[in-house]
């Protein structure tokens, strides 16, 4: 049985998997990482199992060393195999074009691997979280490069904190905003969608799918210009966790 963990800047997602069967999954705010062991054990008790039944733990962690230490506590006895995933030159059919392969974020790497196995063709992978990442795969599974920009909430927050005359308020999306809250919110939506659409146009392939994941995926999806896409952008939950499972399966098959 495998425990998969996707530790991001805002949330820690995890799933318990046996073979190809997803037994259970849940989310914990990253700020509560100190409760991770108790949180997971509490849910495992409901399944009449526990950490002692887990053979391997596979982790994507982009939240820093303090979070990594909390994750290591899940294996304090060192009785299991704990794997922190690092991007490689080649893995699970995907080739890494980054100038330094290991510097590519493990979340982006795992998401690309999952997307490649879902579509097996040129595609755009968009992970919409604290940051929005927009990565391109070729029809041969080669990572061609990608963008990192602030997520929708972070764009608004950074403007409010760095600009004296702006105050935080929940806005609504409109094409031509007539108040500051709507201008901030609509600007963040437009900037995010614009970046996605420009990267998609650079593919020169209107049949390439767009795979969206992350907490803001459902927020952005309705505002993307569907005239650009032959296939409407699809949302895939837990794309990073799916990629971690594929990495675990390939590693165990060796």
* Average pLDDT, integer, range 227-241: 91
pLDDT, average across residues 72-96: 88
Select the more confidently predicted residue: 20 or 119. 119
Percentage of the chain exceeding pLDDT 70: 96
Active-site option among 21, 107, 135, 237: 107
89 is catalytic: no
* Cα–Cα distance for residue pair 116/114, rounded to 1 Å: 5
Confidence of residue 77 (pLDDT cuts 50, 70, 90): low
Contact 237, 151 (CB under 8 A): no
pLDDT in tens, 165-220: 667 778 899 999 999 889 999 999 999 999 999 999 999 998 899 999 999 999 99
Q: Give pTM, 2 decimals.
A: 0.92
What domains are defined for the chain?
2-84 (3.30.420.40), 90-239 (3.30.420.40)
Summarised one tens digit per residue, pLDDT across range 145-165 is: 999 999 999 988 888 887 766
**49 in Cβ contact with 28 (< 8 Å):** no
| Residue 159 confidence (pLDDT) | 84
Q: What is the mean pLDDT of residues 241-251?
A: 96
Beta-bridge partners for 29 = 11
Q: Are 26 and 14 in contact (CB under 8 A)?
A: yes
Q: Angle between the 180-203 and 152-162 helix axes, to the nearest 10 degrees? A: 130
pLDDT digits (tens, 9 = 90+) for 97-142: 999 999 999 999 999 999 999 999 999 999 999 999 999 999 999 9
146's enclosing H/E stretch is: strand 143-150
- Provide φ and ψ at 22, rounded to 5°: -85, 110
Whether the pLDDT of residue 76 is over 70: the answer is no
């Amino acid at each position: 049985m495998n425990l998969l963990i996707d530790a991001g800047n805002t949330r820690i997602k995890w799933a318990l998997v046996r073979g190809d069967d997803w037994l259970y999954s849940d989310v914990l705010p990253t700020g509560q990482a100190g409760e991770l062991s108790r949180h997971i054990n509490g849910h495992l008790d409901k399944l009449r199992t526990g950490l002692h039944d887990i053979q391997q733990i596979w982790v994507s962690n982009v939240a820093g060393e303090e979070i990594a230490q909390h994750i290591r506590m899940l294996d304090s006895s060192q009785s299991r195999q704990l794997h922190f995933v690092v991007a490689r030159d080649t893995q699970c059919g995907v080739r890494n074009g980054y100038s330094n392969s290991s510097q590519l974020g493990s979340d982006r790497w795992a998401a690309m691997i999952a997307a490649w196995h879902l579509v097996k063709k040129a595609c755009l992978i968009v992970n919409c979280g604290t940051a929005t990442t927009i990565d391109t795969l070729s029809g041969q599974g080669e990572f061609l490069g990608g963008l990192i920009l602030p997520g929708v909430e972070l764009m608004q927050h950074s403007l409010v904190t760095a600009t004296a005359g702006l105050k935080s308020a929940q806005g609504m999306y409109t094409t031509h905003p007539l108040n500051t809250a709507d201008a901030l919110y609509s600007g963040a939506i437009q900037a995010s969608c614009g970046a996605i659409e420009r990267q998609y146009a650079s593919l020169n392939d209107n049949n390439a799918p767009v795979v969206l994941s992350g907490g803001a995926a459902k927020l952005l999806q309705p505002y993307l210009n569907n005239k650009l896409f032959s296939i409407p952008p699809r949302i895939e939950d837990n794309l990073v966790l799916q990629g971690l499972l594929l990495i675990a399966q390939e590693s165990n098959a060796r």
